[in-house]
């Protein structure tokens, strides 16, 4: 009899621990479910009730952690998008590779993977609905885009300082390095069913063309090319 009661207490204790563990992971589960809802339905059509159903929690639970849908969207960006961009940015800032090798290697691999990943759904969402929800694009710019632009500018500056690149207007417009990412994302969303586009090759070709345009002639020092045009 005593052994039975002991076993029951152990089972009850395990149940309490599991419930606590589930409670601790619920915010992450809700964010993961929200990402899937946003990816499938867009921002406007997503309801927190649908997020709760996908996360298999009570209808009101998401409101315990996220007061509004906007807060939940920002949590999705922080959880799903920001870590990947922060990782490549840290690599840019700390790498021992030349700027050219980094652009042809880790950076190219990053943008190729991004286009094919589920994370591209957030870009599609912002393109489609951002004009109606400027608070979302402002948040995304502040926490993702602006940091990426500065990191790319730093990589370009280092390439110029080390004599790899000629000083060109690319420093003013580092967005050119990622411009075909949007082309690839939109193509896959709108036209892929009609005509296949090899997005990996597209991005590789683009980076190659940019590098050919800015590469310093062999033997140039950083100050020999002057500043300004890439002509």
Residue 21 lies in domain: 1-67
Question: Could you give the number of structural domains in the chain?
Answer: 2
- Structural domain ending residue among the three candidates 67, 100, 119: 67
> Nearest to residue 177, comparing CAs of 207, 157, 205, 200?
207
| 121: phi then psi, degrees, rounded to nearest 5 | -60, -30
Do residue 190 and residue 224 come from a single domain?
Answer: yes
- Residue ranges of the chain whose pLDDT lies below 70: 1-24, 219-231
Q: What is the pLDDT of residue 218?
A: 75
Other C-beta atoms closer than 10 Å to the C-beta of 15 total: 10
pLDDT digits (tens, 9 = 90+) for 11-47: 554 544 455 545 567 999 999 999 999 999 999 999 9
The token duo for 61 is 């639970």
Do residue 60 and residue 75 come from a single domain?
Answer: no
Helix (H, G, I), strand (E, B) or coil at 215: strand
Do residue 49 and residue 78 come from a single domain?
Answer: no
CATH of the domain at 127: 1.10.357
Give the helix/strand (H/E) hosting 187: helix 179-190
Q: What is the pLDDT of residue 25?
A: 79
Do residue 88 and residue 197 come from a single domain?
Answer: yes
215 has which bridge partners? 165
């Amino acid at each position: 009899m005593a052994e039975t009661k002991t076993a029951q207490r152990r089972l009850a204790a395990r149940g309490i621990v599991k419930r606590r563990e589930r409670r601790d992971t619920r915010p992450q589960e809700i964010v993961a479910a929200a990402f899937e809802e946003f990816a499938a339905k867009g921002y406007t059509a997503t309801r927190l009730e649908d997020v709760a159903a996908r996360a298999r929690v009570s209808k009101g639970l998401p409101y315990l952690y996220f007061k509004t849908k906007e807060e939940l969207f920002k949590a999705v960006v922080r959880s799903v998008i920001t870590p990947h961009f922060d990782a490549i940015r840290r690599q840019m800032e700390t790498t021992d590779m030349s700027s050219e090798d980094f652009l042809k290697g880790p950076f190219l691999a990053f943008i190729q993977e991004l286009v094919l990943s589920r994370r591209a759904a957030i870009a599609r969402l912002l393109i489609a609905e951002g004009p109606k929800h400027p608070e979302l694009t402002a948040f995304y710019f502040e926490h993702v885009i602006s940091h990426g632009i500065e990191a790319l500018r730093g990589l370009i500056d280092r390439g110029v300082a080390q004599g790899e690149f000629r000083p060109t207007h690319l420093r003013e417009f580092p967005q050119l390095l990622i411009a075909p990412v949007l082309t690839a994302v939109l193509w896959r969303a709108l036209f892929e069913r009609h005509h296949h586009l090899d997005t990996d090759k597209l991005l590789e070709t683009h980076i190659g063309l940019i590098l050919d345009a800015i590469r310093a002639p062999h033997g140039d020092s950083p100050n020999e090319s002057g500043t300004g045009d890439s002509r």
